[in-house]
C-alpha cells in the first residue's frame, strides 16, 4: 500500500484512465489492490504485469489477503498468459511471462510498479537493459515507484531521464524511490 498505492497510484485520482506496468507480479497483491482502488475511484486501468517466474498453484492457493480480495486470487492466477482479461468495468489485466517489456511498449505506461526483489537479492532484474526497457515504456510525466533506495539504482534512473526522489519507506524500510519521467 505504502509504496505502490500511496506513493504511486494515488497521484492519478484526477484521471479517467491509466496504464500501469508492473515488473514482478509475485502474489498479485499489487494488481488486486489496484483493481480495488480503480473500482473505488471509477478510474479505468489497463494493467500489464511481467513475471518470468510466476507462483505455482500450491503457493497461490495458500494466499489470504482480505475478504474483498480473496475471491479474486484464483481467477487472477489462473488467467491466461498474454491475454487481456476484464475484472469488472474498471480493470483490465494482462500478465506476461517475460522479465520486462519489449519495444512494442514504447511510451505507453503512466505508472510503473517496479516490484522486483532488491538489487542484491535479484540482480538480473536490476540490470541496465531491464531498467532502460521500463523507462522507455513510460509516457512523459509517468511515475516510477520501487522499494529500493539503492544509490546506484537512483543514479542510473536519473541518467535515463527520471527525476528521482527518496521518500520515507514502508514499515521496516527506511526509504523508497519514486521517479518522474521528464
- Residues 13, 43: contact at Cβ < 8 Å? yes
pLDDT in tens, 61-78: 899 899 899 999 999 999
Q: How many structural domains is the chain composed of?
A: 1
Its pTM surpasses 0.85: yes
Q: What is the CATH number of the domain that holds 163?
A: 3.40.50.150
Q: Which domain holds residue 46?
A: 2-181
pLDDT in tens, 14-59: 999 999 999 999 999 999 999 999 999 999 999 999 998 888 989 9
Query: At residue 35, what are phi and psi to the nearest 5 degrees?
Result: -60, -45
Query: At residue 39, what are phi and psi to the nearest 5 degrees?
Result: -65, -40
- Residues 28, 74: contact at Cβ < 8 Å? no
Amino acid at each position: 500500500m505504502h509504496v505502490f498505492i500511496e506513493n504511486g497510484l494515488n497521484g492519478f485520482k484526477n484521471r479517467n484512465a491509466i496504464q500501469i506496468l508492473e515488473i514482478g507480479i509475485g502474489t498479485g497483491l499489487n494488481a488486486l489492490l489496484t483493481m480495488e482502488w480503480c473500482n473505488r475511484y471509477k478510474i479505468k486501468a489497463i494493467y500489464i504485469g511481467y513475471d518470468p517466474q510466476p507462483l505455482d498453484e500450491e503457493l497461490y492457493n495458500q494466499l489470504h489477503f482480505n475478504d474483498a480480495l480473496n475471491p479474486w486470487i484464483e481467477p487472477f492466477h489462473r488467467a491466461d498468459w498474454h491475454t487481456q482479461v476484464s475484472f469488472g468495468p474498471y480493470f483490465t489485466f494482462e500478465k506476461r511471462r517475460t522479465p520486462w517489456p519489449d519495444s512494442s511498449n514504447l511510451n505507453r505506461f503512466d505508472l510503473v510498479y517496479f516490484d522486483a526483489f532488491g538489487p542484491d537479492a535479484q540482480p538480473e532484474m536490476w540490470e541496465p537493459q531491464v531498467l532502460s526497457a521500463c523507462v522507455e515504456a513510460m509516457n512523459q510525466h509517468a511515475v516510477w515507484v520501487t522499494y529500493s533506495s539503492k544509490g546506484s539504482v537512483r543514479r542510473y534512473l536519473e541518467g535515463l531521464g527520471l527525476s528521482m526522489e527518496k521518500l520515507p519507506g514502508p514499515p521496516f524500510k527506511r526509504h523508497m524511490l519514486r521517479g518522474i519521467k521528464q
